[in-house]
Amino acid sequence: MILHRAPFVIHHFTTLRSTSDTLKSMSDAPAFTVVTADEQTAGRGRRDRSWYSPRGDGLYLSILLRPVAPVLSPSLISLLAAIAVAETIIDLGVREVDIKWPNDVLIDGRKVCGILAEGATSGNQSSCIVIGIGVNLNQRSFPEEIAEVATSLFLSTKETMDAARFRDHLLTNLARWYELWHSGADLRIIERWEELSSYAKHRQVRIETEGEEVVGETIGLAGSGALLVRMADGHVRSILAGQISHLR
């Protein structure tokens, strides 16, 4: 099924292995092409972790973006996607919404949304970015291995969510933030992310990066979107990628 929600064209499927993999296989698809599915059998998140994607309980969505070169801050796309999701949830009246660096959206400290931004090359060899977004909408329970860290909008609100309405609201928010990024409003994106995230400042954290562990206090984001962490010796580290956990 194909739907039009300007500027997006949405290709909806009943079942897919992965919305992102399907989108990347659509050679030369135009910008703002979206793939959604009622169910993913091999959905994945960051660090190749699987994403629990049962039929009808979540929003499983991937978006193709084709930024106009030169792209000065591509890492901000991942952050603005988290902002768009968080604002969509807040607009539903949900409280205690947080963003765990860089782009996990939480409710009451539990993960309700995961985002994976991947670079790709289309059939004509032009570069593009595929953003995969999974939002837990109507799950009543989760597998034992993630039950203590995951939540859904239903568990938070006790109301059943309409996936299509949530999708359209999210896409509207995403288009607005993407346009701001494209116009060079990097600082506004960074400021909004810091407003929404308790991890932005004054948080004692441990970050596992490639080959090392960084421990310190967060002091905000750099212009690139990297997390700034002040070490015990006063030295400030700029971290672009890693697995974060808070110490207190």
CA angle 151, 153, 157 (to 5 degrees): 115
Q: List, as one string, the DSSP characters of 175-192.
A: HHHHHHHHTT-HHHHHHH
Segments of the chain scoring below 70 in pLDDT: 43-51, 69-73, 120-126, 247-248
Pick from 54, 55, 58, 64: which is nearest to 26 by CA?
64
pLDDT, residue 184, reads 85
pLDDT, residue 69, reads 60
Pick from 46, 58, 178: which is nearest to 115 by CA?
46
pLDDT, residue 42, reads 76
Is 5 exposed, middle or buried (CB count within 10 Å of its CB: 0-12, 13-18, 19+)?
A: middle
Is 146 exposed, middle or buried (CB count within 10 Å of its CB: 0-12, 13-18, 19+)?
A: middle
Q: Which domains does the chain have, with CATH numbers?
A: 2-196 (3.30.930.10), 201-246 (2.30.30.100)
Pick from 96, 114, 95: which is nearest to 104 by CA?
114
